[in-house]
Amino acid sequence: MALRLTVNGQQHSLDVEADTPLLWVIRDELGLKGTKFGCGAGLCGACTVHLNGQPARSCSTPVEMAAGGRVETIEGLGGSDRLHALQEAWIAQGVPQCGYCQSGQIMSAAHLLASNPAPSRDDIVAAMAGNLCRCGTYSRIIAAVESVAA
Ligand code: FES
């Protein structure tokens, strides 16, 4: 199946099976390895990207659902020569431990701040609840998001 997809502002024409998980297209077809495979079942959030501006679990999103759409991954979050404010905050707060889940965490946080620039702590906790971290970096994640919030 040939489909068009815009990823981080670049258009792609891809020849892939319709039911291929978007995550495999991002990682294996496009070589964008920042988006991670965790559970593969839509449960952990490690694979979170934005699809048409909404957070999406790319492991459980068939690529045909993204056809013609706009995908943003962690690689596209900042500018070409700068980090996103959340990425700067992640560094400043020393958020990551093993780091594996963090791109999904940041993509969820970015969607939160795009839709609610001044979230309360409860808003942050609720928005991030679907992103699991086995290292338990939750308190630093909240602090980093709060530091960027208006
Ligand atoms: Fe997609 Fe866990 S890898 S939600």
ipTM: 0.97
Q: Does domain 85-148 have CATH number 3.30.1330.10?
A: no
Taking the centre of ligand 1 as the mean of its atom positions, its distance from the CA of residue 39, in whole angstroms, is 5
pLDDT recorded at residue 79: 81
Low-confidence ranges of the chain (pLDDT < 70): none
Fold of the domain built from segment(s) 2-76: Ubiquitin-like (UB roll) (3.10.20)
Q: How far apart are CA 150 and CA 147, in angstroms?
A: 8
Nearest CA to ligand 1 atom 4: 42
Give the domain ranges of the chain. Answer: 2-76, 85-148
> CA nearest 18: which of 57, 66, 81?
66
Q: How far apart are CA 110 and CA 25, in angstroms?
A: 22
Taking the centre of ligand 1 as the mean of its atom positions, its distance from the CA of residue 71, in whole angstroms, is 16
pLDDT recorded at residue 134: 97
pLDDT recorded at residue 80: 80
Residue 3: its H or E element:
strand 2-7
Residue 124 amino acid letter: I
Handedness of CA 108, 45, 19, 3 (dihedral sign): positive
pLDDT tens by residue, 67-85: 999 999 999 999 888 999 9
pLDDT recorded at residue 1: 74
> Is there a shared CATH topology between the 2-76 domain and the 85-148 domain?
no
pLDDT recorded at residue 69: 97
- Residues with C-beta less than 6 Å from any ligand 1 atom: 37-40, 42-47, 57, 59
| 130 C-beta neighbours (distance < 10 Å), count | 15
Residue 1 has which token pair? 């199946």
Q: At what angle do helices 85-92 and 102-115 cross, to 10 degrees?
A: 130
